[in-house]
Amino acid sequence: MSAPVLVVGAGPSGLFLAAELRLAGVEVTVLERSPDRSTGENLRAHMLHARAADLLDLRGLMDPLRKEDPPVWPMIHFGNFWLDLSKLLATEHSLMIPQASTVRVLEERARELGADIRRGHTLTAVERGPDDDADDVAVRVSGPDGEYDLTAAYLVGCDGENSAVRALAGFATRQGSISWYGLLADFDEADGEWESANYPTGIFAVVPHPVHPTRVRLMTMEFGRLPDDPEAPETVEELRASIARVTGKDLTVGQPDWIYRYSGLTQLVTSYRRGRVFLVGDAAHVHYFGAGHGTSTSLHDAANLGWKLAGAINGWAPPGLLDTYHAERHPVGDRVRMSTDAQLALQYPPETIGPLRDMFGELVAFEDVNDHLVRTITEVRYPISYPGRRSKPASAHPLLGRPVPAVEVATSGGAVALTQTLHDGRGVLVDASGGTLRQPDLTGWAGRLDVVTAEPSTELDAAALLVRPDGVVAWADRTGTDAAGLELALTTWLGAPGGDDTTAAEAGR
């Protein structure tokens, strides 16, 4: 067995997942077909939403990215209607960070923690693993020195919109009806009458370069079209033809320094898990990338799965924990599908959507509508509940199922932001009860749970919180008296005290 977990794809989600597993002491091998990081996939994106930045903050990974002094963008768009974030900047904003920088930081962290990252290695076959009764996963790989076989306890596809894992492991998908196709191309300087605009058949835009501020990036987007030959090398002639179809103009362009083709149809797999094989990020959900969901959604997929896989490997996962990955993240992927398809429908076909865009433009001007659309893109919340508990959902604490807030609390060591307490990747019990918290004996969760004792905080609005390793609040108590609720939450998410190998085996089935 090469490692307990085999990850395919070294983009943001695959590298973040690898780092999460290593943080929990789990050996992981990452296969990446590209020989280096300077690929189109790593150069095309240049935005992180606030929730993605919050997630990286949980592990201290935003610090090196902030040193690059990324601009804060006070807007996001929904179907090319710009949404105003000016009144929400404390919690909602976008950071202009090149994906190449994000990949670099995540890869450095994963390697630092001991991940085995193999660039230039391509998955060619999944020979065993998607079946529910499989004891391991067996795959075939093509590397620089030829083909070889690997086995692992689990296989995770983080290999993007054209996922080999998704295809080879036989995941079923649902597809949308509107296709898109376009090109990105970088030039040393703007030479010609290039003006960003929406057109009847698509979009032509001049956008900021994500890495080199002195360069210019051109973008085309054509709706209702796919490339003639998606496997053919991109050419300047293809770029000129795309510009002409969109704008109706035969613009003169020189030879680009870099050119990249993208295309697709909305896709969502029907299940994020098949036996011992999982999908993360664009491998599970393909959607119109211009909507801005991609990196944030993919990173949260990886964060949700990582600690659960680690629990199964390390022997403490309660039965069914791995199944909660699909249960929690598939509805998120479905909402992303709905949101991005809605944005496509607002742009195409142009001959019928004009009145709809006019009406939608009026609605976006209302602050409540603006805020709702913003949170449609950025919100993270899981419907966490505990069957048999007397409390009604309407009376649940508003933090339940949400990311832990970046509230500072006073501890014996000084003020600390709650997000900083998650750096080691374990669950955290925040005791802000002033010494009155009723709790079970916590020694059985040693190694899975850290305890932070803090002074009572009105800003926190809770006497105690249990935070999962992915930063999600799993239990909140305003009184500090719900000892039974705390113990139930602990065993639901962090397993029985002490854990055992039988539990881990059941969780892996």
What 3-state DSSP class applies to 152?
strand
In a domain, 65, yes or no: yes
Residue 168 shares a structural domain with residue 204: no
Tell me which of 230, 264, 298 is where a domain ends.
Answer: 264
> Does residue 19 belong to any structural domain of this protein?
yes
Please report which confidence band the pLDDT of residue 132 belongs to, taking 50, 70 and 90 as the band edges: confident
Q: What is the pLDDT of residue 501?
A: 37
Residue 283 to residues 13, 325, 340, Cα–Cα distance (Å):
10, 15, 16
Provide the phi-psi class of 405: left if phi over 0, else alpha when psi is between -120 and 50, else beta: beta
Question: Apex CA 212: angle with CA 209 and CA 213, to 5°?
Answer: 75
Cβ atoms of 474 and 493 closer than 8 Å: yes
Both 208 and 155 in one domain: the answer is no
Kindly state whether residues 76 and 193 are assigned to the same domain.
no
* 163 and 207 co-located in one domain: no
Residue type, 384: I
Boundary of a domain, candidates 210, 237, 264: 264
Query: Comparing C-alpha atoms, which of 36, 40, 41, 17 is closest to residue 121?
Result: 36
Helix 323-345 vs helix 367-378: crossing angle, to nearest 10: 130
Question: Amino acid identity, residue 507?
Answer: A
170 phi/psi in degrees, rounded to 5: 75, 35
Q: Any idea what the CATH number is for the domain that residue 213 is in?
A: 3.30.70.2450
User: Which residue from 113, 33, 103, 58 is spatially nearest to 425, judged by alpha carbons?
Assistant: 58
Q: How confident is the model at residue 490 (pLDDT cuts 50, 70, 90)?
A: very high
Reply yes or no on whether the pLDDT at 290 is more than 90: no
Q: Are residues 183 and 277 in the same domain?
A: no
DSSP assignment, residue 71? P
Q: Are both 330 and 233 inside the same structural domain? A: no
The CA distances from residue 426 to 423, 446, 470, in Å, are 8, 10, 8
Residues 126 and 34: beta-carbon distance below 8 Å: no
Are residues 96 and 236 part of one domain?
no
Give yes or no: residues 156 and 66 share one domain: yes
Q: Is residue 383 part of a domain?
A: no
Is residue 183 assigned to a domain?
Answer: yes
**pLDDT digits 0-9 by tens, 64-123:** 998 888 877 777 778 878 888 777 766 777 787 888 889 999 999 999 999 999 999 999
Select from 203, 233, 264 the last residue of a domain. 264
Q: What angle do CA 113, 62, 38 make, to 5 degrees?
A: 70
Is 503 inside any structural domain?
no
Phi and psi for 152 in degrees, rounded to 5? -155, 165
Most confident of 269-273, 437-441, 457-461, 497-501: 269-273
Q: Is the pLDDT of residue 37 over 50?
A: yes
| pLDDT tier, 509 (very low <50, low <70, confident <90, very high otherwise) | very low
Looking at residues 488-492, what average pLDDT do you find? 96
CA dihedral defined by 11, 13, 15, 20, rounded to 10 degrees?
A: 180
Q: Which residue has the higher pLDDT, 394 or 416?
A: 416
Residues 144 and 236 in one domain: no
Number of structural domains in the chain: 3
On whether residue 373 sits in a domain, the answer given is no
Pairing of strands 28-32, 75-78: unpaired
Q: Are 349 and 387 in contact (CB under 8 A)?
A: no
Tokens of 88: 């929400």
How many C-beta neighbours within 10 Å does residue 387 have? 5
**Measured distance CA(272)–CA(502) in Å, rounded:** 24
What percentage of the chain carries pLDDT values higher than 70?
A: 92
Enter the tokens of residue 297. 């959604």
Strand partners, 196: none
Q: Does 353 fall in a domain?
A: no
User: Which percentage of the chain shows pLDDT scores above 90?
Assistant: 58
pLDDT band at 9 (very low <50, low <70, confident <90, very high): very high
CATH number for the domain that contains residue 424: 3.40.30.120
Q: How many CA atoms lie within 13 A of 321 on its CB side?
A: 31
- Looking only at the bridges linking them, the beta strands covering 154-157 and 5-8 are parallel
Continuous segment of H or E residues that includes residue 504: helix 501-507
Whether residue 184 is found in the same domain as residue 138:
no
Work out the average pLDDT over 194-205. 83
Average pLDDT, the chain: 88
In a domain, 508, yes or no: no
We report the CATH number of the domain holding residue 55 as: 3.50.50.60
Q: Which pLDDT does position 1 carry in this prediction?
A: 61
Query: Within this chain, do residues 164 and 19 fall inside the same structural domain, yes or no?
Result: yes
Statement: residue 272 has pLDDT above 90: yes
The answer, as to whether pTM is greater than 0.85, is: yes
> Which residue range forms the structural domain that includes residue 247?
178-264
Q: Which residues pair with 72 in a beta bridge?
A: 95
Between CA 440 and CA 57 the distance in angstroms is 30
The 3-state DSSP class for residue 353 equals helix
Tell me, yes or no, whether 182 and 227 share the same domain.
Answer: yes
CA distance 397 to 148: 52
Q: How far apart are CA 175 and CA 235, in angstroms?
A: 29
